[in-house]
Amino acid sequence: MIKKLTAEFLGTMWLVLGGCGSAMLAAGFPELGIGFVGVALAFGLTVVTMAYAIGSISGAHLNPAVSIGLWMGGRFSAKELLPYIGSQILGGIAGAAVLYIIVTGTEGGVIGDFAANGYAEHSPGEFDMAAAFTTEFVMTFFFLIVILGATSKKASPGFAGLAIGLCLTLIHLISIPVTNTSVNPARSISQAIFVGDWAIGQLWLFILAPILGAILAGLVSRFLFSDEK
């Protein structure tokens, strides 16, 4: 169990470092910025790399919503759920702490919005709360459907990590303009802690919507993949 929790800690730390780090440090870099496409790819790559690095140890959930969705789908033990979520949140905070040191390491360095998730005036496209909630709910639902399908017994072995990483890339391509893309409460919590203020006030949406989307996906998966049991 210690190995599993350590793997989830490190994996979620890497997700925040790679995904949020690319958004803060490289997305708008003068003339050579990677833009939304680069950030979306960076998030996907963090999942692909960790899926193959630690998937055999912990399953590479890297996300409380994923753990909850797998539990609802009958693929994950209830007794491991809270320890996994705790490790994921701590790993995300550790990743954000490293980014804080880096971002503030220039003369007059400020963290800005720190790639935090938000809606209304804190949405990149100023999308309202309803649009943000719908986006996070639906995107997490499909993320879990892909995860549950790609890891099902009838799926092609060895390709789950690639499919899941590409799905997360696609999700970011769709939803960065709406919310900066969460679909992961640990990612949202880690950034909001360092921003404080409005990010803490809006954090509820980026915890609740992904969890509800994951729960629905887990329930739907019991029907879709019922012939595997």
CATH code, 98: 1.20.1080.10
Average pLDDT, integer, range 168-184: 96
Which residue type occupies 118?
A: G
Cα 184 to Cα 67: distance, rounded to the nearest angstrom: 10
Q: Can you give the pTM of this predicted structure?
A: 0.93
Domain region containing 79: 2-228
Cα 148 to Cα 71: distance, rounded to the nearest angstrom: 11
| Total domains, the chain | 1
Per-residue pLDDT of 29-75, as tens digits, reads 766 788 899 999 999 999 999 999 999 999 999 999 999 999 999 99
Residue 94 has pLDDT above 70, yes or no: yes
Helix (H, G, I), strand (E, B) or coil at 197: helix
Residue 158 has pLDDT above 60, yes or no: yes
Say if CB 214 and CB 72 are below 8 A apart: yes
Residue 119 has pLDDT above 80, yes or no: yes
Cα 38 to Cα 10: distance, rounded to the nearest angstrom: 22
Q: What is the pLDDT of residue 30?
A: 66
Average pLDDT, integer, range 202-227: 94
Residue 229 has pLDDT above 60, yes or no: no
